[in-house]
Amino acid sequence: MQREVGALPLAPALRARLTAAGFQTAQELLEIGPCGLSKEIGISKEEALEALQVVRQECHGDAARTAGGSGATRKFTALELLEEEQAQGFIITFCSALDNILGGGVQLTKITEICGAPGVGKTQLCMQLAVDVQIPECFGGVAGEAVFIDTEGSFMVDRVVDIAAACVQHCQLIAEAQQEEDHLKALETFSLENILSHIYYFRCRDYIELLAQVYLLPEFLSEHSKVRLVVIDGIAFPFRHDFEDLSLRTRLLNGLAQQLIIIANDHKAAVVLTNQMTTRIGQSQSTLVPALGESWGHAATVRLIFHWDNSQRLATLYKSPSQKEATIPYHITSHGFRDVQPPAVTQSAEGTGMNPRKRPRREEEKQ
């Protein structure tokens, strides 16, 4: 309650004047009116009024926090968190092995990082997720929209068309097998044009455009409240050249990570980043490690590493707070990201909405 003047979010010059005039706590400021304040420290009445409004806002924010209400910091019990996590959706990837090791799919409100060598399938997975996030709820999806921020220029619209067409076909097959009303109704809106119109694409050519876009994202997400996925394809590319000052790079990346965490939490969206691999030259050998350094490793909650083993593509879950480390093979087909052996398409498997692990959403679909 007794906030010091130095800790208030006012302009530095104003703060200097207040401390010079002898004000030490916010309480003292609130006792004096704007006219008195303007006379004492020699600023205009409008500026004094503005300053007092800021101080009042801060103090009310403080009061709400100490009273345990919902302020800038949120308080939960673990039980509330458990209920929230269980009700949360996952974005499926159409590769059931990958969904299994992730615990259901790409999780909302978390940052997932995909690292891998060039050509291994990172952008393919991102495009697949941008389509899968739009799957209607009755088919087991989250019915959201996607923001795709591209820094490398590897987004191919034709490929997204192929993936989306395969996804729509899959849902149509389920709807035919089940013959339920809301499935058919959902299919009316789940068409190719709709899917493509709800992928919002930004092409950032350097790190400044990327920073600017991330600053503007909260505003964009409040306007488009159905967005549930933010993909940044190539977070490493703009930061790997033209940086003589590595400490600046680390600072900018940390700031970026913080903002993405806030965006993921506030808007209940999943953030997916793709990273490159770089060689670390060791004593006797060199290994491939994710780029951007060790400190960036803390930014993502879930880390997947894609790599090759002879000619088989493998995905390793490298870092996750709730799932154990595992490696699975996957395929990139003309339909998109898929399992190596297509899972047996049985009636019961389809009945749970394409993902047997996910908590069932409707009573009838419980096995």
Structure tokens at 28: 């003292």
Site string for other proteins, 281-320 (x = CB under 8 A): x---x-----------------------------------
Q: Which of 161, 165, 261, 314 binds other proteins (CB under 8 A)?
A: 161
* Count of chain residues binding other proteins (CB under 8 A): 58
Among 66, 67, 69, 241, binds other proteins (CB under 8 A): 241
Binding of residue 148 to other proteins (CB under 8 A): yes
List CB contacts of 145: < 8 A, sequence separation 6 or more.
133, 134, 198, 199, 200, 224, 226, 227, 228, 229
If one asks whether residue 252 binds other proteins (CB under 8 A), the answer comes out as: yes
Please report whether residue 343 would count as binding other proteins according to CB under 8 A.
no
Q: CA angle, 183 as apex, 182 and 187 as ends, to 5°?
A: 110
H-helix or E-strand spanning residue 319: strand 312-319
Query: Does position 118 bind other proteins by CB under 8 A?
Result: yes
CB nearer other proteins, residue 9 or residue 69: 9
231 binds other proteins (CB under 8 A): no
Residue 229 interacts with other proteins (CB under 8 A)? no
Minimum CB distance to other proteins, residue 308 (Å): 11
- The upper half-sphere exposure of residue 363, i.e. CA atoms within 13 Å in the direction of its Cβ, equals 0
The least distance separating other proteins from the CB of residue 198, rounded to whole angstroms, comes to 7
Residue 196 near other proteins by CB under 8 A = yes
Q: What is the x/- site pattern for other proteins, positions 72-111, by CB under 8 A?
A: ----------------------------------------
Residue 250's alpha-carbon distances to 29, 243, 279, 294, in angstroms, are 39, 10, 19, 10
Report the residue number, 120 or 328, with the smaller CB distance to other proteins: 120
Give the separation between CA 318 and CA 305, rounded to whole angstroms: 6
Which of 49, 170, 200, 261 forms a contact with other proteins (CB under 8 A)? 200
Residue among 140, 131, 146 at smallest CA distance from 183: 140
At a CB cut-off of 8 Å and minimum separation 6, what does 327 contact? 314, 315, 316, 317
330: part of which helix (H) or strand (E)? strand 326-333
Nearest to 238 by CA among 302, 201, 193, 292: 292
Of 175, 105, 97, give the one whose Cα is nearest residue 343: 97
Interface residue with other proteins, options 188, 219, 294, 364 (CB under 8 A): 219
CB atoms within 10 A of CB 278: 16
* Minimum gap (Å) between residue 346 Cβ and other proteins: 33
Cα–chain center distance at 184: 31
Instruction: Rule CB under 8 A: choose which of 234, 290, 336, 353 binds other proteins.
Output: 234
Find the binder of other proteins among 39, 56, 185, 251 (CB under 8 A): 251
In this complex, which beta carbon is closest to other proteins, that of residue 209 or of residue 365?
A: 209
C-alpha to C-alpha distance for 363 and 69, rounded to whole angstroms: 35
Q: Cα–Cα distances in Å, from 148 out to 17, 123, 165, 203, 270?
A: 47, 11, 19, 8, 12
Q: Residue 202 interacts with other proteins (CB under 8 A)?
A: yes
Q: Which of 60, 75, 185, 203 binds other proteins (CB under 8 A)?
A: 203
Return residues touching other proteins (CB under 8 A). Answer: 9-14, 54, 117-119, 130, 148, 152-154, 157-158, 160-161, 193, 195-209, 211-213, 215-216, 219-220, 234, 237-238, 240-242, 248, 251-252, 255, 276-279, 281, 285
